[in-house]
A and B are shown apart, each in its own frame.
Chain A
Amino acid sequence: MGAYRSIRGRKRRDKVNKLFELQLTSMIDVLVIILVFLLKSYQTSTNNLTTVPGLQMPISSSIEDARDSLQVIVTPEGITFENVRIVDFVQTEATAGASQGAEYKFAAQDLDEEGRRIVALYDALVKAKEKSEFLKAQSTVRDDKGQPMPFDGVIAITADKRIQYETIRKIMYTSGAAGYKIFRFIAQRKET
């Protein structure tokens, strides 16, 4: 404050204020480059499919975009249906807490039909199917015959790449038994 009391001080302050102009041009250049890069690599997600931390998805060269549907996620720890954990795998001492070498073993009470059907998953799938059919019945959208739109019966399976087919087979069998006729295996797109 005291420094600007004199006339010389005021002049110096005015000089500093006039000289200090933020150079926005270079900043604009940077922003334009970032914007072009983002627009080039921009891809929106047209689905609500989720993944979980630590899940290693397989990579596929397929070009079909994953569309929205009911989703089962299989991690080394358990099975999640529509973001609700419904089955916990039995963890051995060696594999507990470790994603490497997990065994994906079911508890005996989690299975029926000679170990082919996952009881909790079947119940959840049937409930989801009934809910979907109820919503379709309430909807004003009808087919050519005036009937409610049929249940699409699509289930998306997102699984860790290390999971064995034995577990996938149980999930497919259970889904088939619950009335789901199309399996949509979710993978990560291969970078070209």
Chain B
Amino acid sequence: MFRRPSSRRKSGSHAIELNLVPMMDAFVTLIAFLLYTMAFVAFISVETPLPTSSPLEVAEALKEKPLQLTVSIREDDVQIWSAFDKVPSKVIKNMEPGIPDFKLIHEHLISIKQQFPSENKVVIAPAGLINYEAIIGAMDSIRLLEPTDPAIFAKNAAGVDEQIKQLFPEVIFGNILGRD
């Protein structure tokens, strides 16, 4: 069982060399795989439904006189108004022609949401010359709540106050059928 003193002395002197070559092979393969399958541009989507309504649905909806908050984006300004005058109309000047002041729009919409916390729909009506970037920016300021925004609570299905996570998540284009 016990080794001779001479062999005991020698046993500790052999250094074990780790064979790093297969490990390096594995790393190179992993890096190649990750680089190949990596998405360098992350796509996100903003969904909006086609506005559809039957005359019966419209008549039913009009009985209650909904908020029907509308954001009209024009070349020089943005108007936020309600079709049934539930909120006073507000005109916000654009920062530059065709570039809305997203911060002011967002702040005004927060104040409306505080009055109507259960409302989720906004009708958006951009003018024909407004560019796509401005529309996406406006939709972001309408739909999303920033972490720095004041907390807004709405009653959930169980009747309990719950903090809302999105401002007006349902954005509908109101002038697809129309013209300028």
A interface list, Cβ under 8 A from B: 24-25, 27-28, 31-32, 34-35, 38-39, 41-45, 47, 49, 51, 57-67, 116, 156, 159-166, 168-169, 172-173, 175-176, 180-189
Contacts and interface: CB of A to CB of B under 8 A. Distances in A.
B103 to A, nearest CB: 13
Contacts of B173: 169, 172, 183
Contacts of A168: 132, 135
B16 interface: no
A39 B27 CA distance: 12
Contacts of A42: 34, 38
A185 B175 contact: no
Contacts of B83: none
The 6 closest A-B pairs by CB, nearest first: A161-B133, A166-B128, A45-B39, A189-B42, A66-B43, A66-B45
Interface of B: 20-21, 23-24, 27-28, 30-31, 34-35, 37-39, 41-50, 52, 126-133, 135-137, 139-140, 143-144, 173, 175-177, 179-180
6 contacts: A31-B28, A35-B34, A42-B34, A44-B37, A166-B180, A184-B47
A115 to B, nearest CB: 9
B132 A49 contact: no
Nearest to A158: B43
Contacts of B31: 31, 34-35, 38
A189 B43 contact: yes
Contacts of A60: 44, 46, 136-137, 139-140
A25 B43 contact: no
B47 A182 contact: yes
Contact of B27 (A31, A162, A164, A173): A31
Contact of B132 (A38, A162, A181, A188): A162
Given A24-B20, A162-B132, 14 more contacts: A35-B30, A35-B34, A38-B34, A38-B38, A57-B41, A61-B144, A62-B140, A161-B133, A163-B132, A165-B130, A166-B129, A181-B52, A185-B46, A188-B41
A28 B20 contact: yes
Contacts of A186: 43-45
